[in-house]
Structure 1
């Protein structure tokens, strides 16, 4: 993988109207005094049949050089804090340096590592409402963990939970945040492998019904693989309260289907056309039955829009929903906390 740096800003900015500009003092181009703006997509709109081979890459670079101040930085090794390591299998993306710096800045170098980023909720747990005295510290650490989750789906759920308390964090919220940091300390070298293989998309999705004890909203989670490689994941509290577990699960399924459609379009742009329906693995029998049943019942009218959306894309061949056992549902790690044995398995 090659890394390039383009000096120009606003590379994708289209200007449909007449804009009167002149080159700024000190940056005049005497050979092209009228040249002001250009567009990256216009400069590189040539489509190559084999865009990943070296000759095609060199042709594309030559096209870009003609329009932009372009620096070739060689093989990529660090991009926005993400290390790109090469091995015999392919690549490994890690933020180990960023994680270690975060632990150091938080003063956790000597802390004991935690086996999981979040502990399962206890039914007898008392609620601590005492406000944390330094909310800015809480926000800074939570934001840093959010950025770390770019290559760490294992902390995505716990970090999402922590970021929901930015406004008025309590001392208990900070204890939960410290738990994530202790887990990161013992797993700072974790990351994402990128290896050659099949280029078909497949998605796993799940929901945890009414799991938020403050407002009883459900949590949706899904993750998508391109062949053997995890390329996308999602954790989000649903916008409204679901009246049943089936409703919560169906909303999660609809969100996953939207992501699949977007990834299919993106894959086509990258010349990785998905010629078969993308499989969405799901463990809720009721939601799957609704998705595949052509008869729409009155008791499911509250999810009618999601129903028609999913049915449409099943019929057009964009997606295929397949049941899998709950114990094999790896999207579980994005919707709820687990004890260490189950967490490690997922």
Structure 2
């Protein structure tokens, strides 16, 4: 895709969309429903940022070849944005926002990159900088929106959606399949590991040697970390491994770089893997877990979660907790609160598009004490040291916005986001 182009893609099914969350751009892998028998079109436009109108005074030197010989020391005042200006993304977004509002779209309060039109039929518009997705149950309505936008901005047809922002989209009769095969190949080429021997796990079960010498080329390490973080869009099995090696970006050591190489070798063996989105019963089911005192350096815990909409995995994450937990119950209680926050956001997003869940989201945890703590306030005397914001989960349970359930550790799906696992 050429820089500065606007690309539109139609994917119509019963309900399918992607979203972005906070500063992350993970919205494409959060498609709500797989599609059966959908098709795609992709008109595109050019020089999106040049359409933005500046609201403040911005001056620039006269460009080479266009100097006024009679006024050589004068400067130019810009009325339209240019590429390279800090104001360019904002002015373009304001311009597009006003255009979509004039067409009847309403911006989502949960995700400012999502616009919804609820007239005769649903139409969704999702914006990522100057790339746009248009989707809805009716291809006629989607095409009509694109035609209306073409009257406001110059666009051209880019063909069916198959590759977008590094993600490959493959369609079938049962749904869609998302992968990042080309991106992984480019990453292996960059790291000079195309011919590396594959391995079965992204991390070794043995501890990292923190007494090794410092890495000479720290910039290469940080560059690979950024590339690996982008892979977590479609690879939940990399969440814990990437989270772990990213903790040493400031002063990486040789042992840390060896751990990164193992992740790359793991990718070499599963380069064509991805995950599917298919139609299923639209209810939310979440799994929350934590590895208590898993970090041997500061004994902080790592929490993780996996959230499903029907049979489709739509959200996952691994995060090191900011403080030390005094017990496994406390560590999993904090992870439970973070998972509940993510569920709340997803429910708000579903409400924005006019969809009501048939039942309360189910949250599964493998710690009985944690579930009791969330349900029973008499445990407060034992948890005085727990930050108040983590009791957020208790309010959600009392209000019946979330139902808590026990699951045995052997069936805990979120375990993959909290620790390195063996190949067996």
Do they superpose with TM above 0.5?
yes
| Distance in 2, Cα, partners of 1:106 & 1:79 | 23
The alpha-carbon deviation at position 207 of structure 1 amounts to: 0.4
Q: In structure 2, what is the equivalent of residue 239 of structure 1?
A: 322
The answer to whether the Cα contact below 8 Å between 1:290 and 1:307 also exists between their aligned partners in 2 is no
How much has 1:22 moved relative to structure 2? 4.1
Structure 1 partner of 2:392? 309
1:112 paired with 2:197, answer yes
Query: Residue 385 of structure 2: SS of its match in structure 1?
Result: helix
1:163 matched to 2:210: no
Q: Where does residue 165 of structure 2 map in the other structure?
A: 80
1:140 to 207, 223, 226: 223
Aligned equivalent of 1:55:
140
Judged with a 3 Å threshold, the aligned counterparts in structure 2 of structure 1 residues 260 and 71 are, in CA distance, closer, same or farther, namely farther
Q: CA deviation at 1:41?
A: 4.5
Please tell me whether the aligned partners of residues 11 and 38 of structure 1 are also in contact (alpha carbons under 8 angstroms).
Answer: no
SS in 2 for 1:281: strand
Q: 1:121 Cα shift?
A: 2.9
Question: In 1, distance between residues paired with 2:206 and 2:53?
Answer: 48
Displacement of 1:102 after TM fit?
1.1
CA distance in 1, matches of 2:52, 2:410: 45
Match of 2:265 in 1: 182
* 1:260 aligned partner: 343
Say yes or no: does 1:90 pair with 2:149. Answer: no
Contact 1:247 1:303 (C-alpha < 8 Å) held by counterparts = yes
Distance 1:295 1:24, change over 3 A: closer
Match of 2:415 in 1: 332
**Offset at 1:12?**
11
State how 1:285-304 maps to structure 2 within 5 Å.
285-303=368-386
Native 8 Å contact 2:375 2:398 kept in 1:
no
| Cα distance change on mapping 1:226 and 1:243 into 2, 3 Å | same
Unaligned runs of 5+ in 1: 26-35, 342-346
Alpha-carbon distance between aligned partners in 2 of 1:10 and 1:47, rounded to the nearest angstrom = 30
- State which of 181, 206, 225 in structure 1 corresponds to 2:289: 206
- Paired residues, what number? 328
**RMSD of aligned C-alpha atoms?**
2.8
* Distance apart, 1:68 and its partner CA: 3.6
Could you say what secondary structure the match of 1:303 adopts?
A: coil
- Shift in alpha-carbon separation, 1:199–1:13, aligned structure 2, 3 A: farther
Shift of 1:50: 3.4
1:302 alignment partner, SS class = coil
Structure 2 partner of 1:42: 101
Counterpart of 1:33 in structure 2 is none
Q: CA deviation at 1:59?
A: 3.6
Q: TM-score, normalised by structure 2?
A: 0.71
What's the offset of the Cα at 1:54? 2.4
Q: Secondary structure at the match of 2:140?
A: helix
- Structure 2: which 5+ residue stretches go unaligned? 1-10, 12-39, 59-76, 83-93, 106-116, 123-136
Going from structure 1 to structure 2, the CA distance change for 1:321 and 1:14 (only over 3 Å counts) comes to farther
Q: Cα distance, 1:206 vs. partner?
A: 0.3
Cross-structure match for 1:197: 280
What is the CA deviation profile of residues 28-84 of structure 1, one whole-angstrom value per residue up to 9, with x for unaligned ones? Answer: xxxxxxxx9452541341413532222332343344334444444342111011110
Pair 290,304 (structure 1): closer, same or farther in 2 beyond 3 Å? farther
Q: Does 1:99 align with 2:184?
A: yes
User: Are the aligned partners of 2:51 and 2:95 in contact in 1 as well (CA < 8 Å)?
Assistant: no
Cα deviation for residue 5 of structure 1 reads: 4.1
Residue aligned with 2:297, SS: coil
- 1:31 corresponds to which residue? none
Sort the Cα spacing of 1:294 and 1:23 in 2 relative to 1 into closer, same or farther, 3 A: closer
